[in-house]
A and B are shown apart, each in its own frame.
Chain A
Amino acid sequence: MTDLAPHLESRQPAHMPGTAEEAAIWAVLAEVPDPEVPALSLLDLGVIRAVHVVSPPKEGRGGVAKIDVTPTYTGCPATGLINEMIKAAVTNAGYHDTSINMVISPAWTTDWITAEGREKLREYGIAPPVGSAPSGKAALFGVSPVVTCPRCSSENTEQVSEFGATACKAMYRCLACQEPFEYFKCI
């Protein structure tokens, strides 16, 4: 049953087995942009944790779906909007009763940003997170990662501020091409 979005190739993550209907919803969500970093889809960002089809739409009746979503940061002001966008997209796909289940455990990590998402970030001008998230007790003063300039690829960059225009980013500048840029912090 793929008539929900037959033109979309399934973008369901390999580690999330599910039914054909669920695969179709994953494909729909792969087209929903993150409102703060629209170069990324919500799937690239890793905030969609699970898709459950309770009952598929049939014979003109709307379907019922539940989507598990996790926030990036506890106070991310986009969380409400992201939930509304998910609801709208899945409702448009025929699931007139779509509910969002917020999950906070395990806590979101930048490790969940897909490889494709990292490449999209770079093209968009945001340096993707370097390495993987620290596990266990974080050092008070960690070794600063080498952040590559998304414009000229120089490694000769410096942090301007730990905090940027959104909770998930820090401000950097490139000492080679002189351009300021944002870095997607590794958490």
Chain B
Amino acid sequence: MGCIYQTEENPHFQYVLGLADDALILGQRWGEWLSKGPTLELDIAASNLALDLIGQANLLLEHAAELEGKGHTADDLAYLRDAHDFRNHWLVEQPNDDWGVTTARMLVFSLYQYCRYEALVKSSDAHLADIVAKALKEVSYHRRFAAEWTIRLGQGTEESNQRIQRGFDMLWRFVPELFETVCWEQTLADDGIAVASGTLQDAWEAEVTLILTQANLSVPKGDAHQFGSRHDGHHTEHLGTLLCELQFLQRSYPTASGAVW
């Protein structure tokens, strides 16, 4: 099974698609908490987080579809691509597991997403800059939510401390992929369109270390060399099952004119 989208083809499109897919897949993961949140307030928080992320994905996918220039809509890209054509990081497709893992993931990712969007506000792609400027307001709430919950669980009981530490320990191997700068991304960054992911790492590490320390948690040690090679269509097994649910209705009840949701 080959990818439809070869990495060397239209890197500007692939880059925006990557931003969109991160938001879409993590939004879907948040949606899975609905009716199962640990408390009513957190259930509502989960739906808000899911909505924000899917809203961002929608704007980004619309933009990606324009850049692709093949007449696709945002819905086509969300509902009619198979796993190997998704460009999200492996981190966001991992299962929610428990609230500790979900919170750890949200801290790792929302700090990263904030750094990334903050840099992209200055993108020479004016439409992308407008989208991220709007999304940044939402993500500043997300990272605060994740940071507060990390501290609450870390400083809570022995059990809550262990559960969130387990989350960071489990997910840490997916961190290096966030800061991997592939050569075409560097070229886009040189052109002022993208931000080279590697340049975000120092600021991210400083923030995450600060929060983990305050939360009485340890920054996971050991070699973390997991690179996702998502650009070549490689994903973990979990993306396929996530897409089964995300794309079920559209694939079971296809419409002649493409995806309409």
Contacts and interface: CB of A to CB of B under 8 A. Distances in A.
Contacts of B138: 73-74, 187
Given A105-B133, A105-B134, A161 B55 contact: no
Interface stretch (A21-29, A133-141, A149-157): A133-141
A185 B48 CA distance: 13
Interface residues of B, number: 34
13 contacts: A74-B56, A74-B135, A76-B51, A106-B133, A107-B130, A109-B137, A161-B41, A162-B45, A163-B47, A164-B48, A167-B48, A167-B51, A187-B141
Given A75-B53, A105-B133, A163-B47, 7 more contacts: A73-B55, A75-B50, A107-B134, A141-B147, A162-B145, A163-B145, A171-B44
A163 B134 contact: no
Nearest to A74: B55
A72 B179 CA distance: 31
B120 interface: no
Contacts of A164: 44, 48
Contacts, number: 82
A104 B56 CA distance: 11
Q: In terms of DSSP, what is the predominant structure of the interface of chain A?
A: loop
Nearest to A171: B41
B52 A74 contact: yes
Interface in A99-114: 104-109
Q: In terms of DSSP, what is the predominant structure of the interface of chain B?
A: helix
Nearest to A165: B44
Interface in B37-92: 41-42, 44-45, 47-56, 58-59
A75 B137 contact: no
A104 B141 contact: no
B58 A75 contact: yes
Closest 7 CB pairs of A and B: A75-B55, A74-B55, A75-B51, A105-B130, A161-B41, A107-B134, A163-B45
Contacts of B148: 141, 162
B140 interface: yes
A136 B133 CA distance: 11
B199 to A, nearest CB: 16
A35 interface: no
Nearest to B147: A140
Contacts of B50: 75
